Each structure stands twice: as C-alpha cells, then as structure tokens.
Structure 1
Amino acid sequence: MYKLSSTGTEVLSKSMREIFTTLGAFLYYCIGYMILPGIAYTMREWRTLLIILSSITVVYIPLWWFIPESPRWLHAQGRLEEAEVILREAARKNRVTAPEVIFKDDELYASSPSTQKHSMVDVVRTSNIRCVTLVCLFLWMAVNIGYYGLSLNTSNLSGNPYFNCFLSALTEVPAYVVSAVLLRKCPRRPLFSTFLLIGGGMLFVIQAVPKDLPGLSTGLEMVGKFGFTISFTVVYIYTAEIYPTVVRSAGVGMCSSAARIGTIAAPYIVYLGSINKFLPYVIMGSLTVASSAINLILPETFRKELPETVEQMQKCKGLCRKEPIIGYNAEKDRNTQSIIYEVKL
C-alpha cells in the first residue's frame, strides 16, 4: 500500500494526488475489508481462510508489466531516456503535445548516476531529514496502533462480531470520501492533528459511558474509527509530500515499517482489556493525543511543489517556520506534469 501511495504521489499532479490515494487506493481497500467478514463467516476454519485470502493476491502479478515506473524517480536516478519514453507515451495517451526536448543538457548532467547516488542512509543523514524521519516514524506507529487497535477490538464489542467487523469497515467509506474533499482544501498539518484528536478523544469519552448503554459505546468507537481512518489516509499523502523524490520510497518505506510495529503491538494492547477494559483505550488515546501535538513540528506541504532533492526540503521547524523550498524549478515541473498528469476523466 505504501509503495502504491508513494508512486501515485510522484506520477500524479496535485489535483489528482488526493483522489488517487483516498478514492482510488484506500476505498478499494475498504471494500475488501467489508467483504472479509462475509468470507470469514462462510469459512470458519482459519487455515482455509488464510489460503483463500492469500491466493487472491496472485491476480496482481501481471500488473508488473502494465504499471510504468515513476518518471520523477527515473529522473532522480539519471535514467533520462527511460523517463522520456514514459512521458511521451503518457502524452500520446492523454492527447497532449510533448515538447521536442523534455530534458536539457544541464539536467542530464545534474541527474546523471555519477552525481546523484542515494541510499537508505540519506533518510537520516542531515539533522533536518533526521528530525522529519523520527517524527514520521512515531506518527505512523501511533496511527496504526489506534487504527488496528479499534479494528481488532470489534470482537470485544457487544453484538455479533462479524457484523461489528462489517460495521467498522463500513465506517471507513464516508471517512475516505470526506478525506478526499478535505485534502483538496485543507492544509495537511492541522487536518492531521484535528482528526487525531477526534480519534483519541473518543477513546477517552468511551470510558465514561455506562455499562447499560453498549450501543452508545459502539457508536463512539465507530466515530473514533472514523477519525483514525482519515488520519491514516492523511499520513500517507503527507509523508510522501514531505520527502524528496530521491529518498521518497526509502522514507515512506521506513515509516511503513514503523507502522507495522504499531500493527504488531495493537493486538497486545487490545489484550490488556482482559486486565482492565479501559486500559487499551487509555494507551491508544494517550499516544494519539501526543501524536497530534508532535505533528506540529513537521513542515506544511499543502499546495507546494514536491521536492526533488534533499536540499529542497522545507526545514522541520514547526509552526514558526514557513520557508518555501529553494532551488526548485516549478516551471519545469509544471511543463512535465502537463504531459503526464492531465488525465481525461
């Protein structure tokens, strides 16, 4: 999922980036999530269920030959000829006239493999990008703990566990639609913090609900799931927009690894409910509220051009720093995007 989001961020323009991630990638993920309890209800034996769910992924193998590589990434790696072929093919499909010369001689030199070598170390090399990485690692882990914690907690709610799982998945549909609208109109930083507070706040409110009102607890938990789902969506786009093209895949991949740590920890946090039913909510809510504050350290990326190099990243100084990226040829980027990104709907 993270690779799909990162590639979509690089290939699509700002106007299409949010739609692709929310309604393109995540909404279909939600549809599969809604189908899952039906398959599990029909096939109760867990080994057979895992075989069925794993075999479905085979259909994605042929996509290797149909999905093109990111032209931004090819440009950053010095593979200009391959990038130009993809851009001209995109221009042909979108009925856009490509310029005779897409990459100039100085760009050919600047993007050559001999002058542009990057590795995983670059994600933590400078103090600025190291600050961004550490903050993003914590945010991804906290969001995934809350998201998967509530997803796995549906079996502990009153009522049928299969229906509760379906209801949890159904709650994500309006969340992705709302996030698609808000991401096109709202800055990333306050949007992310707001819905983290909504998700975490509901976890604290649930503890005050009387035992004889299980339906209210379920409803509040679904509101919390709504907030975490939007936060889950925003963090994908936000992180991909912060990192420059040369290390974007490495940065988002490292954050996704931290998210998996949160996913692994989520069932153990939920299991703490056997000791005290409010303990999972306290832990997840505290992490979420702390994340909403730590998020303010990151720079804002709303309606800004994607950085291409580490030097073009905005400084990680929080609210007091609103410095635009430097050394970025926005006109060149717009010319390139006009070739590949003007998708006719």
Structure 2
Amino acid sequence: MSDSRRGSAMDGPSEERKDSRARRRKSSAFAKPLDLDDVLVNELGQFGRFQIRNMLLVSVPIIMSAFMSEYIFSAAAIPHRCRIQECGENSKLMEFEPDWIFGAIPVDNNGNMESCERYTSSNTGVNGTPMFCPADLFSSDRMGCEEFVYARDNSVVYDFDLGCQEWLRALSGTLSSVGTLLVLPITGFVSDRYGRRVAVVISVFNLALIGLIRAFSVNYPMYMVLQLLQTTLGAGTFSSSYIIAAELVGPKYRVLASALSSSMFAVGLMTLGGVAWLVQPWRYMIMVLHIPCFLVISYYWILPESVRWLLSKQKYDEATSILQKVATVNGTSISEKSLAALTTPPPVAYVESPEDKGPGLVKTIFRSPILLRRVCTTPIWWITTTFVYYGLSINSTSLSDTMYLNFILTCAVEIPGFFTAILVLDRIGRKATLSCGYLFSAACNIAFIFIPNDLTTLRLIVFLLGKFGISIVFTSLYLFTSELYPTEYRHTLLAFSSMIGRIGSITAPLTPVLADYWHGTPSMMFGIMGMISGLLVLTQPETLGLKMPDTLAEAEALGRPESKAKQSS
C-alpha cells in the first residue's frame, strides 16, 4: 500500500509538470516573437552611426539609378529644317538660319520657320550657294522635307536623322518607362532569393554595362532596344538600395529614410543635368555617366547585407555578426537574450486548411463597396503622380535655351518638396497634404499656360512650384495608400496601384510632342489630372492618428466614430 501510494504521489507532480511545459510551448507558439524593430528601438538605436553609414553607402547607387533618365538629353529634340539642295547645302550641319532661308522655307502662325515643309523649286535654272540663294528660285507651292539641316549635333536625332519623326524620337522615353515595369518581378525574385546586396550589385552592373554599350549604338533601333534592356535589367537599383537602407532603420525614422532616398535620386538627376551640360556629345556623356558605375561591384564586399533578409533566410551567424557590429558602431549593446530570440527558428505555425481560408481577393473587393471604391481610386492617384512628376522633368528642357539649368532646377526643387511632406503629414493630415499638393500643382500648371514667353523668370518660378507640389504628393502617396488597406491585402493592393501608376510614367515622355499641336497641351493635361486626383482624395477617410487596419472590417471603419474611439482607447 505504501509503495502504491508513493508511486501515485510521484506520478502526479510529474504529469502536472508535463502539462505545464506543454501549455508553455503552446502559448509560446502563438505569442508574438521578438521583432527586429523592438531591438532597434530598445537596444541598438533606430538611426545611429551604423544606419547613417549604411545610408551614405546606398546613396551612391541611388544617385546612379537616376542616370537611366539620360535619354532626356541623348534623345532630346533639336531644331531642324529642310535641307535646300538647290542652294548647295550638302550636309546635316549647316548654318541654320542664313539670310535667304525664309525665301525657301515658309513660316508658321507664330513667325517661326516650319520644321517639316519647304517651298518647291521653280525650275528657273538658277542655282544658289550656302551664302546666297535667290528667292525666285522657289515657287509658292509647299512640299515635305527630303533631307534635313540640324541646329545641333548632340542628340540621336542628328546622328540617326530623325527629323520630323517626333513620335519615334519620344518612344525611347516610353520604352525606358516600360522597362521600369518589367523590372519589378525580376528584382523582386533576385532580392528575395539571393539577397538585397546581390540585387544592388547586379542591377548597377547591368545599368553600367548596357548603358556603355548603348553609347556605341549604330542605329536608332539598337539605341531603343538597349534602352528597354537597360531599364528592364537595371532599374531595380533604386528599390533594392532603398530596401537595404530602410530595413535597418527603426519605425520612427522610416519616413525620413524614404525622404533621404528620394532626395538622393533628385541629386542623381541634378548630376545627370550637370554632366550633360559639361559633356554635350551624347555618346561621351553616356560613357562619363556609366563607367564609374562599375565601382559599385565592390559593394559585394563592402555593403552589409540586410539583417531582416538574413533572419528570414535563417542565416543566423551572419545576422548575429552584423547585429553585434551595429551595436559596436552605434555605441550601444544587444543582450544575449535578444540575440537568442532573433536567431531562434520560429515554431511550426498552424497551417490553414482550404476550408479555413476566406474568399479570394477579387471576391472580397467586389463584396465590399468601400474597398472597391478605394481600389478604383488609388490607381488614379498613382497615374496622375507619375504622369505629372516625370512629365514636368521631361518638359523642363524646353522652357528656354538654358535647358540644362532648367532641368537641374526642376530636380533640385524636389528636395524641399520631399521634406515638406515630412513636416506636414503628421500635422495637417494625409488628406489635406495630398489634396493641397495635387491642387497646388494643378493651379501652377494651368497658370503656366497663360504666362507670356517673354516673362522667362516668372514662367520658370511657376513651373518649379508645380514640381514642388507634385513632389510633396510623391512622398505622401506611399503612406496614405498603405494606411487605407487592411494588412492582409495591403502589399498586394499597394503594388497594384503602383503598377497601374506606371501608365503615367510610360505616357509622360510623349507629352512634349503634343506641344507641337498647341503649346499648352502638356501643362493643361497635368493640370486637369491634378485637379481630378486632388478632388478624389477628399472621397477617402483621414488616417492621421489611426491604427493601421489589420482586418477588412477595420479598413471599412476608417473615419467612422468607432474607429477613432478604438484608437483613443
């Protein structure tokens, strides 16, 4: 009896201990694991010396990513007219406006020389020279140009004889934007499979190599194919560089990191304008821009890999080494407990059965009128933003003869626009910031149409203010779009809006051609699109101070009293 009681007494506590351990394992499996953000906030520092050094390193490829926009100068429109063979013109680069030229070429309604028409020969048997050509050599009948004379030779328009083929010339910019759409799945695959650092190095190498080859294009089709190929394989430079910088910054400084990255891209555009100004032959300009990019190959050994990516791939030894280095450089420390929590494989999660899954995304959208309205609205914002942003940059070169200075100023004004967004987003709210940015830019673009050409300084100021307004929008758009969608669908719907928004950047390079029909067409299009989007912003709820929605119900409740009450509680 005593042995039996002793045995049962020993078995009881043992079973209780087993049950207790099982309950702890079960609860730990569903408890929120320690996140890198928690360690950055509480131990390592959110934006210390290591993060600043990391930001400076990735600033170099971000600046270089702007060099793919060099088609703005290498494929720039240049003044051209018909070549008058009867007057001894036997070259594409002759005196552009000799004294006799208006006897041979008609003028338009503004008194400017026609680019694509000339007067026919009167067959009088009289011949002229490049120095003197009599007016009676020509009749009043018009004909199209057979050959051209160009005012400059620093564009593919001169080398490949693209006179009066403006749509074909503008196609190079469109193909560049198409490449930025095609690059998304390629860069995403490389970045997620092989690492952010590898994606940066490969993207910059492709950018440099294909760009250098493009400098030796022998015809325009080769130039355009390489333009598409360069952006398709190299346009991931910005996104992969930005991710490396942002993934090691604490939550409080992510908007700042985004603004700094965007500012570095603007610095890259300004650098592009400066190089194009100093090195005007387009082939040499491309070489000067792209040869230094090969130095970024050294980043494979210099740039630290993203800790978040290493942890997601369970490369714990390398992640531990970098985390310890962050602590050393920042003058902080990371506890062994935190290291162990970050570098311990997560428990096996519960796997949903097909029966547990709700309706698909498409069905969810159509079943929710609120979500459907947002899915129909946010892509319009993105189309407008990319259309106006890139359209203003491209059209800035035609403001006056100082095309390089105009482009540099148009890019420089983006930087205060980016940081203005940071200052006002958390003060006046997302809706007010976006709507005012759109409407202000629209007002400037429409006003620009009616400013006389002789008021050069005023035209430039109003144009720059329009770019300032859309720059504020660009920085704010990512945040507001993300806050409107629930966690389950946030990434997918943000990516969808951004992808549809590429329509704007694809069509923007074609807008300068429309100015040939009416000078105010591009600016009027920018203004109308800005007004539409500015008003559409007002149809969505304000998200300032509200918790980002995790569920569809929370997303639908945004802006309602219960949503604000839940946040305050």
TM-score range relative to shorter protein? 0.7 to 0.9
> Is the partner of 1:197 in helix, strand or coil?
helix
- Given that residues 307 and 322 in structure 2 are in contact (C-alpha distance below 8 angstroms), is that contact kept between their aligned partners in structure 1? no
| Distance (Å, rounded) in 1 between the aligned partners of 2:566 and 2:320 | 23
- Which runs of structure 2 are paired with 1:126-275 in the superposition (5 Å)? 126=365, 127=368, 128-275=370-517
Q: Which of 249, 263, 266 is the equivalent residue of 1:30? A: 266
- CA displacement, residues 91-118 of structure 1 (integer Å, 9 cap, x when unaligned): 9846466679979xxx968x65547999
Give 2:18's aligned residue. none
Using the TM superposition, give the Cα deviation of residue 153 of structure 1 relative to its aligned residue in structure 2, in angstroms. Answer: 0.8
- Given that residues 6 and 252 in structure 1 are in contact (C-alpha distance below 8 angstroms), is that contact kept between their aligned partners in structure 2? no
Give 1:342's aligned residue. none
Using the TM superposition, give the Cα deviation of residue 288 of structure 1 relative to its aligned residue in structure 2, in angstroms. Answer: 0.5
Using the TM superposition, give the Cα deviation of residue 187 of structure 1 relative to its aligned residue in structure 2, in angstroms. Answer: 1.1
- Given that residues 557 and 563 in structure 2 are in contact (C-alpha distance below 8 angstroms), is that contact kept between their aligned partners in structure 1? no
- TM-score scaled to structure 1, two decimals? 0.73
| Distance (Å, rounded) in 2 between the aligned partners of 1:6 and 1:124 | 32
Give 1:68's aligned residue. 307
| Distance (Å, rounded) in 1 between the aligned partners of 2:264 and 2:372 | 33
Q: Which runs of 5+ in 2 are unaligned?
A: 1-237
Letter in 2 for 1:259: G
Letter in 1 for 2:552: E
Letter in 1 for 2:499: S
Higher RCO (CA 8 Å, separation ≥ 6 residues): 1
Give 1:315's aligned residue. 556
Using the TM superposition, give the Cα deviation of residue 5 of structure 1 relative to its aligned residue in structure 2, in angstroms. Answer: 6.8
Using the TM superposition, give the Cα deviation of residue 148 of structure 1 relative to its aligned residue in structure 2, in angstroms. Answer: 1.0
Q: Which runs of 5+ in 1 are unaligned?
A: 332-345
Using the TM superposition, give the Cα deviation of residue 12 of structure 1 relative to its aligned residue in structure 2, in angstroms. Answer: 5.5
Name whichever of 275-284 and 35-44 sits farther off: 35-44
Give 1:337's aligned residue. none
| Distance (Å, rounded) in 2 between the aligned partners of 1:137 and 1:285 | 18
- Given that residues 243 and 313 in structure 1 are in contact (C-alpha distance below 8 angstroms), is that contact kept between their aligned partners in structure 2? no
- Given that residues 298 and 316 in structure 1 are in contact (C-alpha distance below 8 angstroms), is that contact kept between their aligned partners in structure 2? no
Letter in 2 for 1:168: T
Q: Structure 1 residues 326, 303: closer, same or farther in 2, change over 3 A?
A: closer
Q: Which has the higher helix share?
A: 1
Letter in 1 for 2:255: E
Q: Structure 1 residues 123, 100: closer, same or farther in 2, change over 3 A?
A: farther
Q: Structure 1 residues 108, 173: closer, same or farther in 2, change over 3 A?
A: same
| Distance (Å, rounded) in 2 between the aligned partners of 1:299 and 1:41 | 46
- Given that residues 247 and 306 in structure 2 are in contact (C-alpha distance below 8 angstroms), is that contact kept between their aligned partners in structure 1? no
Question: How many residues matched?
Answer: 313
Using the TM superposition, give the Cα deviation of residue 270 of structure 1 relative to its aligned residue in structure 2, in angstroms. Answer: 2.9
| Distance (Å, rounded) in 2 between the aligned partners of 1:69 and 1:190 | 34
Q: Structure 1 residues 57, 133: closer, same or farther in 2, change over 3 A?
A: farther
- Given that residues 123 and 250 in structure 1 are in contact (C-alpha distance below 8 angstroms), is that contact kept between their aligned partners in structure 2? no
> Is the partner of 1:314 in helix, strand or coil?
helix
- Given that residues 421 and 475 in structure 2 are in contact (C-alpha distance below 8 angstroms), is that contact kept between their aligned partners in structure 1? yes
Q: Give me the identity figure in percent.
A: 21
- CA displacement, residues 225-265 of structure 1 (integer Å, 9 cap, x when unaligned): 10011111111222233344444433332222222210111
| Distance (Å, rounded) in 2 between the aligned partners of 1:30 and 1:225 | 12
- Given that residues 514 and 521 in structure 2 are in contact (C-alpha distance below 8 angstroms), is that contact kept between their aligned partners in structure 1? yes
| Distance (Å, rounded) in 2 between the aligned partners of 1:324 and 1:12 | 29
Q: Structure 1 residues 202, 108: closer, same or farther in 2, change over 3 A?
A: farther
- Given that residues 194 and 292 in structure 1 are in contact (C-alpha distance below 8 angstroms), is that contact kept between their aligned partners in structure 2? yes
Q: Structure 1 residues 100, 53: closer, same or farther in 2, change over 3 A?
A: closer
| Distance (Å, rounded) in 2 between the aligned partners of 1:325 and 1:86 | 40
Which is higher, the Rg of structure 1 or of structure 2? 2
- Given that residues 2 and 236 in structure 1 are in contact (C-alpha distance below 8 angstroms), is that contact kept between their aligned partners in structure 2? no
| Distance (Å, rounded) in 2 between the aligned partners of 1:203 and 1:285 | 5
**Cα RMSD (Å) of the superposition?**
4.2
| Distance (Å, rounded) in 2 between the aligned partners of 1:241 and 1:7 | 23
Q: Structure 1 residues 65, 100: closer, same or farther in 2, change over 3 A?
A: closer
Give 2:361's aligned residue. 122
- Given that residues 2 and 256 in structure 1 are in contact (C-alpha distance below 8 angstroms), is that contact kept between their aligned partners in structure 2? no
- CA displacement, residues 264-295 of structure 1 (integer Å, 9 cap, x when unaligned): 11122232111101111111101101101111
Give 1:343's aligned residue. none
Letter in 1 for 2:457: G
| Distance (Å, rounded) in 2 between the aligned partners of 1:139 and 1:205 | 22
Q: Structure 1 residues 86, 182: closer, same or farther in 2, change over 3 A?
A: farther
| Distance (Å, rounded) in 2 between the aligned partners of 1:7 and 1:67 | 5
Using the TM superposition, give the Cα deviation of residue 65 of structure 1 relative to its aligned residue in structure 2, in angstroms. Answer: 6.0
> Is the partner of 1:299 in helix, strand or coil?
coil
Using the TM superposition, give the Cα deviation of residue 193 of structure 1 relative to its aligned residue in structure 2, in angstroms. Answer: 0.4
Q: Structure 1 residues 264, 163: closer, same or farther in 2, change over 3 A?
A: same
| Distance (Å, rounded) in 1 between the aligned partners of 2:372 and 2:245 | 24
Using the TM superposition, give the Cα deviation of residue 313 of structure 1 relative to its aligned residue in structure 2, in angstroms. Answer: 4.8
